[in-house]
Structures are given as C-alpha cells and as structure tokens.
C-alpha cells in the first residue's frame, strides 16, 4: 500500500509514518512480526518446523540457519524502525492518508488468518 501511494520502495524515502498513518503502521507491525516468526503468528510455525527438521538432519546446519533467521529479523526490525518512527522526513509522507474502508476489508482478514494459523496451526491445513 505504501509503495502504491508513494510510488517508491526506497527505505530512505520514508520516515515518521507512525505519526501520519497509525493504523497502517499497526497492521504493518503485526505482519512484520509474523514475517520474522514471532510465536503466536503464522511465521513461527514454519520457521520452527524447518529449524527442527534441520537440527535432526545436521545440528551445525540448523545453527547456521538460525543465524540467518536472527539476521533477517534484525533487518526487518531495523527497516520497520526507519520507515515508521522518528520525524516525518519527506513532505510527501505528511500527506499520506491512513487506511481506507476498502483497505480495512483486506487487512483485517489477513491479520486474523496470521493469528489463527499461529495459534491453531494443526487446523489450518
């Protein structure tokens, strides 16, 4: 949604979005946490099972994979911070609008499914 509104994907073009679009940032946070594998969200189940299987096959490779998980989580949180916190660094960001009703209709079910799949993974298949 951000890239559609701003027509850019450069992290440096954003900053301070929490002050302008708080609902979008909240949804962005939940999906970001899901992507890094926070327990209780859908990304955790996949990451955990992959690391468990890798550990049973080769513990050294599992440790290597876990390092990649940690580095990707670090990057995702760093990106989230740069895009959403601080002061508004670009005047185009100050004119952004928060979630519209149509966007709520898309985001709410996505977040609900991410939570449902994280809490009840066995019933999601």
- The domain limits of the chain are 14-117
- Residue 97 burial (10 A CB sphere; 0-12, 13-18, 19+): exposed
Mean pLDDT by 10 residues, the chain (125 residues): 85 90 95 93 90 93 93 95 91 90 95 93 70
The residue with tokens 């979008």 is: 24
Residue 73 near residue 36, CB atoms below 8 Å: yes
Supply the DSSP symbol for 7.
Answer: S
Total-model pTM? 0.86
Q: What share of the chain is helix, strand, coil (3-state, %, to 5)?
A: 75, 0, 25
In the DSSP assignment, the letter for residue 122 is G
Q: What is the model's pLDDT at position 77?
A: 96
3-state secondary structure at position 96: coil
């Amino acid at each position: 949604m951000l890239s559609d509104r701003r027509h850019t994907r450069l992290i440096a073009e954003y900053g301070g979005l929490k002050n302008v679009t708080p609902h979008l940032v909240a949804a962005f946070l939940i999906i970001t946490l899901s992507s890094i594998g926070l327990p209780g969200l859908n990304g955790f189940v996949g990451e955990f099972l992959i690391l468990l299987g890798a550990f049973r096959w080769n513990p050294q490779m599992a440790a290597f994979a876990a390092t990649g998980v940690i580095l990707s989580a670090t990057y995702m949180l760093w990106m989230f911070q740069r895009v959403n916190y601080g002061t508004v660094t670009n005047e185009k960001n100050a004119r952004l609008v928060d979630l519209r009703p149509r966007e709520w209709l898309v985001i709410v079910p996505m977040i609900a499914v991410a939570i449902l799949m994280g809490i009840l993974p066995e019933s999601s298949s």
